[in-house]
Structures are given as C-alpha cells and as structure tokens.
Amino acid sequence: MSIKVGAERPLRIGLISFSAIADDPRVRRQGDLFWEHGWDVVAVGLSGARSESPAWLCLEVPATDEETAAAAVGAAPETRDQAVGSIAPQPPTAPKSLLDRALDVWRTLPEPLRRKLRSPARSALRIADVASVYLREERATASYWRINDRYPLIYQLASGQKADIWLANDWSALPIVRKLAAEQGVPYAYDTHELAVDEYAQSWRWRLIHRPVIAAVERMGIAGAVATSCVSQGIADRLHELYRLPEKPMLIRNMPRYQAHAFRPCGETIEVLYHGIVYEGRGLETCIDSVALWRPEFRLTIRGPGPEDYLAGLRKRIEAAGLGGRVVLAPPVPMVELVKEAARFDIGLFALPGHSQQNVHVLPNKFFEYTMAGLALCVSDLPEMTALLRQHDLGRLIPEVTPQAIAAAVNGFDRPAIDACKAHALAAAKLLNWEAEADRLYAAIAQAVPAAGEAQQPAAR
C-alpha cells in the first residue's frame, strides 16, 4: 500500500548525492526505506556503480574515470577542481558575473596559449572567487557551481523530476536541492555523511580555499532544511555549535540492515580485514608497515576501491617490505555483499589518524559492518568508536597510528579473546542495525510532507 497525494499518486522523495548511488550504503538505505513505506523514490548521482541497481529509480550523470575515482574515495574538492578552460557554466537562471565573462574570453583563446597560462590563471581565478566569498557569503552559491562540472549536470538531470521532498546527501548536494525545492515549491532535508567544514582540515590549502565556500553553502542550506541529520553525536554537537542551530541535528548512524551470521571460531591463520575506501589519509601505509611486527599467525587483507596509482604505491610498499605472503590487496565487492564477505575474517581493522575534527568524530560504516559480520574489532581510540567498542566489549583500541601501536593492539589478541569479541559482536549486531535507526529518519522526513502526516502508516511493499 502506498501513501497517496490526494487519490492520484504515491508521495515521492528525491535523493541527490555526488556518488554512485547503488554503491553508496547510506543513500541506498535511504531509498530502500521510503520505497518500503510505499513512496516513489528517484535518486540522481554518478555512474560507475559495481552493485546491482535498487528497485527504485536511479539516474546517473556520466563521470570520467578521474571523477569516478575521486567521488569513490571521497577526495578533497581541490583534487576535483577542473581546469580553467573547462569550467562549467552557471545554471541557466544565474546572471553572469564579471568572473563568468572573463571565463568566456578565456574559452576563445587558442589551446596552446591556454596550456601555457592555465596553472597561474586557474590559481588566480580560484583565489579571486574565494576572496569574494570571504567578503560576501552569498557568493558561495555562485562559486559552488564552478567547483565541479558535474554539479550543473546533476541539477539538470534532477530538474526533469518532480518530488514532494528533496534530500541532499552531503554539502555538495545542498545547492542543488535548494534550487530544486524552490523551483518546485517543496521542502528539502539535509543529511551530512561527514563533518564537511573539517573534512580535510589537515591541509592548509583546503582550509584557505575550500572551507569558506563549504561553510557558507552548509550554513545557508541548513537554515532552510526541514530536517538535518548526521552520522555521529560529535558531528551533531559540532554543527549545533558552529551554526548556532536551535536544536541539534538528528543522529542517524551508518548501520547496515540486520543479517544473522553464525559464530565462526578462529582457525590456524588469523585473518585481519580492512574494507572500505583505499586511499591516503586512512592509515593504510602504517598498517602495512606494522605487519612485519605482527605475530606470524596474523595476515592482513585490504579490500576496496581506490585510484590505481595509489594501489600501485601500496603494492610496491608491500613488496619492498617483503610482506607479499602476509598482506593482500583484494578487489572490492558489491556493497550488498560487503558484510557477507567480511564474515570470512576474524578481526576488522581501522587505524584512522585523528588529525582533524572530522576524524575525531568519525563513526563509519565499517565499524558497524565489522560488527554485523561477527568480527573482533581493532580500531583507533577515537571517541565515537571507543564508546561503542567498550560498551559492547568488541575488541581492542589503537592509541596512536604508528606501526608499533597497531602491532601492539593486534598482538594483544589471542584466539580465545578474538572468539569472545566475535561472540559479543554478533550479540551487539542485534542492537546496532539499520532497523534501529530507520524509523526516526522516516518520521522526520514524512512529517515535513503534509500528505504523509495525514496518511496512515502503510504496509511494507
């Protein structure tokens, strides 16, 4: 049974995300949630997903290999900036600024000349653009449309769809849903997967050039959102303080659907798994270096998508350390099979440096996926993960991201301890699952759409 608008059609939610929707666990769960409640669902994102498409409608903007890799690994916007010669036009309704007119002139120059001028011109234009945001915050919206040429394309594709409410996933979708909601006369909501203003705070260039735009876009977007949600309490607290919100954003953690897995005791070889994005800044180099200090029964598998040049660098590191028999780089598996494949391992590893507020407050998918799979956990001693690990007695903490500290944490496990933590994880999985989070998200979004609030709770599809 579907919730109807009048007697004619089901309610419809539109999801916008700068990601491959079928591979994005959080966005996919959002779509499934509303689909199962009888809504129509349309999502607009990037192409390149490895997983089977969901039951609801996914529209894709074709992405170049570089852009697909950048989106997959959550690369900083600075790595996604386009060359000056290919800067995207403003959306049709935006007036041309002096900067836009200068870009029109730039495009008339011969390509050999543009190549010579591109680097200094690009830097000068970007600095001028950001300087205008420092002076006038509302300039951030115009600057946003120039960050990536896929933003206008996603907007254009989404504008052909009508929805009763739009949901932006991450700051990068906020201007798109604000524009769509204003044009269609409907509300919008905001779900941030990261602490956007601190995501790459370890980079001075990012802080100088990108943070002011992101902060302005997010501040203006949150102000108009009918509901705001995030993945950890620390992020909720930070957003509440930073933007002086009347109430804290809703906490919707990154938990997978409940899956029952049988207890599997350790074998002769103890298999340690890192799964997720394979990219710099995630402590993977240090994890590899630490394996030489692990007891011989431990073996590490690193599984996930990443840029080929980065993966090649990890392979060289493994070979140079003589760890070819103990460290494996495995190809990614479809998102829907992630937990099932993880259940073949014994310990889930995540040694994330706490070099930014984003990392300090991290509470990632993989923490809950490892738990759902029935693994012992070995993770960085960061507040959000530490609290849950201790509450459920799931494993051991890594006090600092050094080879010695990681090795001490891994070597601190023996087989009985691992098996005990695995049993605790299977018990915790009955509490730490999407079913425990989903009702709050559905209620918050549905209450913002009058027809949903007036209807009775529908049966699941």
CATH of the domain at 15: 3.40.50.2000
Instruction: Give Cα 72 distance to the centre of its chain.
Output: 9
Q: How confident is the model at residue 147 (pLDDT cuts 50, 70, 90)?
A: confident
| 241 and 361 fall within a common domain | no
Could you tell me what percent of the chain has a pLDDT over 70? 79
In the prediction, which pLDDT does 93 show? 46
Q: What span, in angstroms and rounded, lies between the C-alpha atoms of 231 and 246?
A: 19
Q: Are residues 393 and 449 in the same domain?
A: no
Do residues 366 and 274 share a domain?
yes
Whether 253 and 281 have beta carbons less than 8 Å apart is answered as no
Domain count, the chain: 2
* Shared domain check, 286 and 195: no
Residue 12 lies in a domain: yes
pLDDT tens, residue by residue, 272-310: 999 999 999 899 999 999 999 999 999 999 999 999 999
Please report which confidence band the pLDDT of residue 125 belongs to, taking 50, 70 and 90 as the band edges. Answer: very low
Does residue 126 lie within any of the structural domains? Answer: no
Same domain, 197 and 52: yes
Among the residue ranges 140-144, 183-187, 247-251, the one predicted with the least confidence is 140-144
Higher pLDDT, 139 or 168: 168
Is the confidence at residue 188, as pLDDT, over 50? yes
Tell me how crowded residue 242 is: count the other CB atoms within 10 A of its CB: 16
Q: Is the pLDDT of residue 455 over 90?
A: no
CB 199 within 8 A of CB 359: no
pLDDT at residue number 137: 62
More confident of the two residues 204 and 67: 204
Position 202 in a domain: yes
Across 117-126, 159-168, 425-434, least confident range: 117-126
Cα gap 283→264, rounded to integer Å: 28
Question: Are 179 and 319 within one domain?
Answer: no
Tell me whether strands 165-169 and 347-350 are parallel, antiparallel or unpaired.
unpaired
Amino acid 146: pLDDT = 78
Q: Is residue 416 in some structural domain?
A: yes
Domain coverage including residue 300: 270-428
Residues 449 and 421 in one domain: no
Mean pLDDT within 127-154: 71
For residues 244 and 274, state if they share a domain: no
Mean pLDDT of 155-179: 97
For the question of whether the overall pTM of this predicted structure is more than 0.85, the answer is no
Structural domain contains residue 133: no
Higher local confidence (pLDDT), 2 or 16: 16
Residue 75 or residue 318, greater confidence: 318
